[in-house]
Structure 1
Amino acid sequence: MLIRSVISGALASFLSIAAAGAQDTRNLLESKESLYNNIYVYEQAPYRSMTFGHNRRIYTESVYNTRDELDLPVDYTRFMTASVMYTKDIRSILEIGFGGGRTAWYLHRFLPKVQVTSVELDPTVLELAKKYFGIKEEPNFHVANRDGRLFVQESKERYDIILIDAYRGPFVPFHLLTKEFYQLVKDHLAEGGVVAQNVEPSTMLFDAAVKTIHSVFPQVDFYEAGGNIVMVAYPGDERKPEDLAGIAQERDKEFGFRYKLADMLAQRKRIDIDNGQVIDAKAKVLTDDFAPVEALKTIERHNRKLP
């Protein structure tokens, strides 16, 4: 999970990376080096953060309010839950990219009868999420230690919602950003199901990522979320605003979500992806057989850190 949101008050101070150690008032709870990440867990009450070191920079992956487990301090994690108003049914949810588990845990708490499965590649991330971020195994809540694409490929299940929030530094792992991957995801959606993905808009791959998901899913809605973009994609016809508004109102009332679907719907954006005015017309659809050598090497190493 990647956070680039600008958050006010104490949380903004908490998320910032200090220019020098003396200026950083956070308390380092634990640091670990795994096969995949250099992981640091910080605390500045009431918030805890899980951060990854990548190419001499620090990226905040997850933020947890220790006084309020239902708080989603970071904007994009809230907008990932907008997917709930799109799906025909809510029986099963799959999340690829767990991090500190805040989005999955929030949905589990408000939808306790729904099967929530999250997949995380790094076992050390899971260890620290359980130790510091209030995560535990419960009925209808399960976290699998597996590569997300391999998990979907091997799964016989179909899901009403698939959330994609896997990051390595500032980038989504390439094998989770190709046309073949999105086709695999589509094949594992239940009837009326949707996909939501968190995408960092300032990277050079953003336009290609939009074109690629659109090559599989004809409908893509955009939610600007504090510096990130959440894309909600689905097959079939466009879900009309009035229909979404009705579902949002019903499900807000039924489940009592902290962050109202109706409020998020007001931020929905539709753009013409094909006319080249917003998304670069020269951007390429990403495929498994066309990837940077560095990305292919990473995939061969099962996404482990390069020496």
Structure 2
Amino acid sequence: MELEDKEERVLAEVQDQFGLIRVLEIGEYRFLEFGAAIEQSCTFVADPCWLEYDYTRAMFMGALCHGHPETALFLGLGAGTLTQACLKFLPLDDVEVIELRPDVPRLAMEHLGLVDDERLTIRIGDALELLDSAESADLIFLDLYTDQGPGAGHLAWRFLENCQKQLNPGGWLIINQWATNDGKPLGAALLRGLYHRHYWECPVREGNVVLLVPADADQQLDITELARRAEALKVYLGYSLQPLIDALRPAS
């Protein structure tokens, strides 16, 4: 994605109780930003299901750990590209999103290609408060970021514990976690203790570590089957997930 010589256009700008939200267009891409130019999401205008960044591809890869997911819960919407990719490429019947800021889904629908799919329900509010009222799910995606970095939920023991408990049997919790300077996920000691070192990590080039957490301690990650599912989707996705599968490592 080469954007250095492209003109930047501001398509929308909203000030809410949490700060500034902007939608920018640069060439063939649109960006959702919070605060002072803190990029949250990127959308390829021609195909809003296209996952441009490795961290979103790694989160989608995490969804393929489940053989036949029917339900998904997204904690944090962003531009909605990951949500739309999952709706398009996975056999989902019911998808719930909890998003803190009411203007985010509105802007995503007006400018970032988010489609009002009949399988999709969006609730506005704090995920830390609304998680208990959500339906259990086969897949849960945790991606709560502000213009200051990861939200409180990314280091909140009880909330992270409840995210895992909200999974159906055989389900997977997929967390987009910041990485520290040593390449480990933020809160590594807490995560190891909470999940008993039973999860997998995928470091990505944006500087994050995507965590794949199974519903229970007896559940294992079948790398061979994961690679098979990814290969079957490669022609539809337009890219390979194999480099991310190769980067997977047990909890460090």
Q: Does 1:270 align with 2:244?
A: no
2:19 alignment partner in structure 1: 37
**Residue 30 of structure 2: which of 48, 62, 71 is its match?**
48
**Counterpart-to-counterpart distance in 2, 1:65 and 1:160:** 28
Q: Secondary structure at the match of 1:144?
A: strand
The runs of 5 or more residues in structure 1 that have no matched partner are 1-7, 15-23, 273-307
Partner of 1:298: none
Aligned with residue 81 of structure 1, among 60, 64, 69: 60
Q: Does 1:239 align with 2:220?
A: yes
What does residue range 7-26 of structure 1 map to in structure 2 within 5 Å? 8-10=1-3, 13=4, 25-26=7-8
1:201 counterpart residue number: 179
Query: Which runs of structure 2 are paired with 1:178-197 in the superposition (5 Å)?
Result: 178-197=156-175
TM-score normalised according to structure 2 size: 0.87
Relative to structure 1, the CA distance from residue 203 to residue 175 in structure 2 (aligned partners, 3 Å threshold; closer, same or farther) is farther
State the Cα deviation string for residues 36-72 of structure 1 (Å, max 9, x = none).
230111101210001111xxx4210111111122311
Aligned-partner Cα distance in 2 for 1:256–1:107:
16
CA contact (8 A) 1:88 1:160 kept: no
Once the two structures are superposed, the pairs formed by residues 1-307 of structure 1 within 5 Å of their partners are: 8-10=1-3, 13=4, 25-53=7-35, 57-87=36-66, 89-111=68-90, 113-155=92-134, 157-202=135-180, 209-218=187-196, 219-226=198-205, 227-234=207-214, 235-237=216-218, 239=220, 243-250=222-229, 252-253=231-232, 258=237, 259-272=239-252
**What's the Cα RMSD here?**
2.5
Aligned residue for 1:9, secondary structure, equals coil
The count of residues paired between Structure 1 and Structure 2 equals 247
1:99·1:125 contact (CA, 8 Å) conserved in 2?
yes
Deviation at 1:124, TM superposition (A): 1.1
Cα drift, residue 94 of structure 1:
0.6
Do 1:170 and 1:200's aligned partners in 2 also have CA atoms closer than 8 Å?
no
Shift of 1:139: 2.0
Per-residue displacement from partner, 1:72-126 (whole Å, max 9, x unpaired)?
Answer: 1111111111212323541111110101111111111112543222111100112
Counterpart secondary structure, 2:158: helix
The 10-residue stretch of structure 1 (179-188 or 226-235) with the greater mean CA deviation from structure 2:
226-235
Could you tell me how far apart the structure 2 residues matched to 1:203 and 1:118 are? 31
In the alignment, the residues of structure 2 paired with residue 203 and residue 247 of structure 1 have an alpha-carbon distance, to the nearest angstrom, of 29
Which amino acid in the other structure matches residue 147 of structure 1?
D
1:266 partner SS: helix
Q: Which amino acid aligns with 2:15?
A: E
- CA change 1:90–1:68 in 2 (3 A) is same
In terms of Rg, which structure is larger?
Answer: 1
CA separation of 1:76 and 1:254: change in aligned 2, threshold 3 A:
closer
C-alpha change, 1:260 and 1:90, in structure 2 (3 Å) is farther
- Normalised TM-score (structure 1): 0.73
- Return the alpha-carbon distance in structure 1 between the equivalents of residues 235 and 152 of structure 2: 37
CA separation of 1:250 and 1:76: change in aligned 2, threshold 3 A: closer
For structure 2, list consecutive stretches of 5 or more residues without a partner in the other structure: none
* Amino acid corresponding to residue 26 of structure 2 in structure 1: Q
